[in-house]
Chain A
Amino acid sequence: MTADKISTESAPAKAWLMGIAAWLVPGLGHVLQGKWVRALILGGAVWICFIMGFMMGGHLFRFSAAEQGVSSLLQIAPMIGDLGTGLLYISCWVSGTGFGQTPEQAALATFEYGWTFLLVAGLLNYLSMLDAFDIAAGRKS
């Protein structure tokens, strides 16, 4: 009986909105719910991770059909990770910044760390997004 209740439990529309807000701008989902400290901690960590990624010479991933064979498919998984940063990724995509790899960038000792930080920023924001969703749905305090 309890399992039936859980499986049919639906989240309110507010929870979905908070989840989307948290995805679009890291920390916004918690700010809108008045969870300022949580927003500062979670959003701050994601923003710092993203900025550090670029400072270390990292680049973002995107699907490019121009690349041949399996190579283009290999871009999908990291692209999904990067996409977790929401508007940060979208604004980079629209402005065309952060996707290229110059030889100077690739020569940096922190180049590999850079794109890893950018990818992890997106993954951490997915966690933050789920947290904002759960709070709005009343599953967390």
Chain B
Amino acid sequence: MRHFLVMTAFAALAAVVFGAVAKDSNHERLMYGLKVFAEFMVIGLVLAWVLYFIPL
């Protein structure tokens, strides 16, 4: 659970900055920030499951 929360916090902070510096209008910034956040979360979860099945 802690790992998931840390990943969520990381995705949120990065998405806030990416969204704020990109695009021109506030609506576009919000949508881009949400998109970046969703991408971080989905890719993080997919990678976590892929690595779960790989014996290291």
Interface residues of chain A, those whose CB is within 8 Å of chain B, are 38, 41-42, 45-46, 48-49, 52, 56, 109-110, 113, 116-117, 120, 124, 127-128, 130-131, 141
Interface residue total, chain B, C-beta cutoff 8 A? 13
B1-32: contact bitstring with A at CB < 8 Å (1 yes, 0 no)?
01100100110011011101100100000000
- Residues of B contacting A: mostly: helix
Determine the chain B residues whose CB is within 8 A of the CB of A109 once the complex forms: 2-3
A42 touches B9 (CB 8 A): no
Determine the chain A residues whose CB is within 8 A of the CB of B17 once the complex forms: 41-42, 45-46, 124, 127-128
Given contacts A41-B17, A109-B2, 7 further A-B contacts (CB under 8 A): A42-B16, A45-B17, A46-B17, A110-B6, A113-B10, A120-B14, A127-B21
B6, B14, B16: which contacts A113 (Cβ < 8 A)?
A: B6
Q: How many A-B residue pairs have CB under 8 A?
A: 40
Determine the chain A residues whose CB is within 8 A of the CB of B20 once the complex forms: 38, 41-42, 45, 131
Q: Which residue of B lies closest to A132 (CB)?
A: B21
With most chain A CB atoms within 10 A of its CB, the pick from B3, B6, B17, B18 is B17
B10 touches A41 (CB 8 A): no
B16 touches A131 (CB 8 A): no
